[in-house]
Structure 1
């Protein structure tokens, strides 16, 4: 079941990373600007954010299985529409649908884990989910870099449609219903808004959710700017860029794996604070060097790797602590986490393109701002929280 959930959870990094190396080519073929192409990433992230809010509500009302199957089925169609899009504007619309439908895999995977585990046990399960799902961002840029020369960016989206079909089969055959009927609630969006209001008024939950969202905000700031920073600023080839992107994704995956092994020894909160501190320090160094013109390629590459890798200590632990505050509304809690994560990504993706294609400064500033907000939120809102420490 966890393997199938990880496959569904992988839709976001797959659909995000696989076509990034084609950004410059897409800019030429669709006769648009860098910002115009980055809007396809923005639309995808916005769809993921909104889709999680809707799907999270439906999963608390109807159970986990039905929304998961529906969302992954629509993802197949959305991938085909992306491949066939004749203009940047229609591609933006198709990407929104792809994100909205793909949200089901992310929000329900987290909700299913929340149905089955608590505390350190949940942290381990979330870390394993991210490790297995982390194979996607390692393979996606390598696969995309290889495919873009052979089948073009349209072929990449057809491959994504095929992977979505595989996700549907995995969900159909391997994921059972984990939310009993007696724990489901009705009320639709009205109940969702009430649950969301209660969760957002809970200071520790809000602190962990902000840390989760803005931690990933740093990641997506880097992802949105990376095709131009690596290829235009530092002169990487398409293949070299794909390898570098894969190495950074591997760093996040490896740190998540280490987190799973040591969380029982060091504690969820200590590892969360360690990850947030490391991200902020590395992003600050990146920002200072970029602003002073000293961010040469040999320094930029390891600093970005270190920042992204440190997120592995933040993501699973912030998730486990947040959902521990909402045991009766796991779907809604998961939806809020996802909405923050990808809503911020939707905002940051076009912003990092406003500074042009030939500088790393906007990316570095966005990464530092995100990590600073994430760390400050935990300090200000969740310092006194002790809930969620139970071992399983």
Structure 2
């Protein structure tokens, strides 16, 4: 039983990691991609924006499909598309073609992200869900450590096209694992309508839930700070600080280690502290580190090593925020967990795509734009959490007062 649970969680973790792995592995290849496709690194960064847009749109498509047809069948379709797009990417001749294929790659691969969140909601209660999300983040967190390092070596030894060949192979292996070892957690629902009006109604009902809105947008903007770092770090570390592709991979890995450690600390803290108590503290600390990072680069007293330390602390906060915000956001939904998971992912990736698009506009000779966007994302998240939290408390008090005053209760 324990072995089966481990295998299931491993597969769910790998499904969750498809997106991050597809993002992180090709980052060290940005300069070579720009050179081969006769463009600049800022233009290549738009392939990242295209990927985020694909993930955002794709998750909205898969949510209803997962609720109607069960969790596994839509996964088969998405993973096949991901594999085909990955194997096609090495043959592009222009950056526009690569943007298009990255978009299709994201449309396919995002099914793993939606399905894994929905299956966690199917199989675990709210408290256990936060712990499971922390465990999934362990697998996801390994991605930023392994992916850029592997990508750096692949780009240096075999060229950037080899990165996409490896991604396609990884996708094929995960697909086989899903087919053989992952059980179906939800039976198909023949009564679930796929008409646009019905789907929009489901999404509308989810969006009316205040708990979902507060924790989804809080998590989305803290994650946007992470995406700003991912989008801006190749330029900052390789062009401004002048490190090599391989060294950049190791820097990315070291910084990502903070995220992994934080997720596992979070899983232990949850035994004594609730998710509601953890999130405000994590976001507040992220705001502080974001401001210090911005001020340090703006005032020129923060060098390479200081930047690495503060980026590590900033990303570590995500290890506390993401698992708890995700669990709380989809907790109110059981029958519509697929739709809730899809909206959660869509909002997160839509915000992330917007941030990476903004980052692509900067071709600065300093790290200030990256740090500034990271700090702004964290500040936005704390504002949402503070005002949204007050609204949730008022609603909770109103419900409690109504129950006390109702003699029928």
Q: Under a length normalisation based on structure 1, what TM-score does the superposition of the two structures give?
A: 0.95
Q: Deviations over 1:63-99 (max 9, x none)?
A: 1111111111111101011121111110010000000
Aligned-partner Cα distance in 2 for 1:211–1:42: 21
Residue 22 (structure 1) aligned to one of 2, 25, 29? 29
Q: Tell me if the contact between 1:4 and 1:170 (Cα under 8 Å) persists in the aligned partners.
A: yes
- Name the counterpart of 2:314: 307
Cα separation, partners in 2 of 1:181 and 1:270, compared to 1, 3 Å: same
Q: Over the residues paired in the alignment, what is the CA RMSD in angstroms?
A: 1.7
Q: 1:36 Cα deviation (Å)?
A: 1.3
Q: Tell me if the contact between 1:251 and 1:308 (Cα under 8 Å) persists in the aligned partners.
A: yes
Q: 1:207-222, aligned counterparts within 5 Å?
A: 207-222=214-229
Q: 1:326 Cα deviation (Å)?
A: 2.0
Q: 1:172-251, aligned counterparts within 5 Å?
A: 172-181=179-188, 185-251=192-258
Residue 77 (structure 1) aligned to one of 84, 96, 106? 84
Q: 1:336 Cα deviation (Å)?
A: 1.1
Aligned-partner Cα distance in 2 for 1:301–1:250: 12
Q: 1:236-385, aligned counterparts within 5 Å?
A: 236-383=243-390, 385=392
- Name the counterpart of 1:49: 56
Q: Under a length normalisation based on structure 2, what TM-score does the superposition of the two structures give?
A: 0.91
Aligned-partner Cα distance in 1 for 2:163–2:146: 13
Q: Deviations over 1:180-218 (max 9, x none)?
A: 345962234332211221222222210100011111100
Q: Tell me if the contact between 2:362 and 2:369 (Cα under 8 Å) persists in the aligned partners.
A: yes
Q: Deviations over 1:121-164 (max 9, x none)?
A: 11011111111222222110110111111111101000000000
Q: Deviations over 1:34-89 (max 9, x none)?
A: 22100100111110111111011110111111111111111110101112111111
Q: 1:91-110, aligned counterparts within 5 Å?
A: 91-110=98-117
Secondary structure at 2:28's aligned position in 1?
helix
Secondary structure at 1:171's aligned position in 2?
helix
Residue 122 (structure 2) aligned to one of 115, 118, 128? 115
- Name the counterpart of 2:404: none
Aligned-partner Cα distance in 1 for 2:143–2:89: 20
Aligned-partner Cα distance in 2 for 1:284–1:165: 42
Q: Deviations over 1:216-241 (max 9, x none)?
A: 10000000000010111122221111
Aligned-partner Cα distance in 1 for 2:197–2:109: 24
- Name the counterpart of 2:402: none
Q: 1:174 Cα deviation (Å)?
A: 1.6
Aligned length: 388
Decide which moves more: 143-152 or 293-302: 293-302
